[in-house]
Amino acid sequence: MKKISLPVFTFATALAVVLSLPLSAHAQGADLFKAKCAACHGADGTGSAMGKKMGAHDFTTADVQKMSDAELTDVITNGKNKMPKYPTLKPEEVKGLVTYIRSLKK
């Protein structure tokens, strides 16, 4: 019994981890976005009143979606004008944020 159930269990666990990876990157990005970015960019990415006044663009539009992942990563990591820089975010966290921004595309 044990000889069969262990590999089955291992396989099922590995499968569950692989299947949950893209989802968790997205969920993590959404949580981070709400915590650190929504004050200016709005929970839906269209921009809060304050963020728009500072010059933030609507993430759902082509203006932002046409930016490459590298450009989005650069703005998040290094900032731009009134956009603060976030040099302490881990690369996976920035990736999660970029994934989240992509998911806002209309």
Which residues of the shown chain bind ligand HEC in the complex (CB under 6 A)?
A: 36-37, 39-41, 51, 54-57, 64, 72, 75-76, 80-84, 86, 97, 101
Minimum CB separation of residue 14 from ligand HEC in Å reads 31
- 3-state SS of the chain? CHHHHHHHHHHHHHHHHHHHHHHHHHHHHHHHHHHHHHHHHCCCCCCCHHHHHHCCCCCCCHHHHCCCHHHHHHHHHHCECCECCCCCCCHHHHHHHHHHHHHCCC
Minimum CB separation of residue 19 from ligand HEC in Å reads 26
17 vs 106 by CB, closer to ligand HEC: 106
20 vs 78 by CB, closer to ligand HEC: 78
Minimum CB separation of residue 24 from ligand HEC in Å reads 18
Closest C-alpha to 77, from 63, 94, 65, 59: 94
Minimum CB separation of residue 97 from ligand HEC in Å reads 4
26 vs 36 by CB, closer to ligand HEC: 36
